[in-house]
């Protein structure tokens, strides 16, 4: 292939009427062939560049889509994590409320049991007092009937009889 420098330095021979026409035609044909080759190669390279630029755009689009997908996945994961923490916090708060409610119920039960026990003690104490009073009366009556005077009365009563005399 002819270089640009060769074209610039090329010297045509002089003939009878100037330059040799055949040599100039051959040289021009050679330059035309080389030019056609360069033009074809240039066109092919331009097409290759366009194809490669298209592929680069396609891959950049894919890369952008993947980056967006990754960002979306990260955001979704963060949202899930945030929601999970919020749900866990809500469950914890609900559990705390339930525990507090149960403790209050147990405290109320204990208070009611203490009131019941106090009322039962009062009733039992009243019954015991009544039994003590009844026991005192029984003791008084027993003392009366088992006293020495009563014994004498019973002995004398046995001696009394209705007229056989």
Q: Is the pLDDT of residue 164 over 70?
A: no
Whether 14 is covered by a domain: the verdict is yes
**For residues 75 and 67, what is the distance between their CA atoms, to the nearest angstrom?**
12
Whether 165 is covered by a domain: the verdict is no
Whether 62 is covered by a domain: the verdict is yes
Whether 123 is covered by a domain: the verdict is yes
What's the pLDDT at 163?
65
Q: Is the pLDDT of residue 159 over 60?
A: yes
**For residues 155 and 150, what is the distance between their CA atoms, to the nearest angstrom?**
9
Confidence of residue 155 (pLDDT cuts 50, 70, 90): confident
Q: Which residue has the tokens 């014994």?
A: 151
Whether 42 is covered by a domain: the verdict is yes
Over range 3-20, report the average pLDDT: 73
Whether 163 is covered by a domain: the verdict is no
Q: How many domains does the chain have?
A: 1
Over range 41-66, report the average pLDDT: 96
Whether 149 is covered by a domain: the verdict is yes
CA dihedral 24, 29, 34, 37 (to 10 degrees): 170
> What sections of the chain are H helices per DSSP?
4-9, 21-145, 148-159
On whether the pTM is more than 0.85, the answer is no
What is the domain range of residue 69?
A: 4-157
Q: How many CB atoms neighbour CB 115 within 10 A?
A: 10
Whether 150 is covered by a domain: the verdict is yes
Q: How many CB atoms neighbour CB 60 within 10 A?
A: 10
**For residues 107 and 132, what is the distance between their CA atoms, to the nearest angstrom?**
36
Over range 16-27, report the average pLDDT: 77
């Amino acid at each position: 292939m002819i270089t640009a420098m060769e074209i610039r330095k090329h010297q045509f021979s002089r003939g009878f009427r100037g330059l040799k026409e055949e040599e100039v035609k051959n040289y021009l044909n050679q330059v035309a062939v080389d030019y056609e080759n360069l033009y074809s190669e240039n066109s092919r390279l331009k097409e290759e560049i366009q194809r490669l630029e298209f592929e680069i755009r396609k891959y950049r689009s894919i890369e952008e889509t993947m980056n967006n997908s990754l960002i979306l996945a990260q955001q979704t994961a963060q949202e899930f994590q945030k929601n999970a923490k919020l749900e866990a916090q809500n469950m914890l708060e609900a559990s705390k409320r339930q525990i507090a409610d149960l403790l209050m119920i147990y405290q109320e039960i204990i208070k009611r049991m203490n009131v019941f026990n106090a009322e039962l003690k009062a009733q039992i104490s009243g019954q015991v007092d009544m039994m003590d009073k009844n026991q005192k009366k029984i003791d008084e009556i027993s003392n009366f009937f088992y006293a020495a005077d009563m014994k004498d009365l019973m002995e004398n009563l046995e001696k009394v009889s209705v007229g056989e005399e």
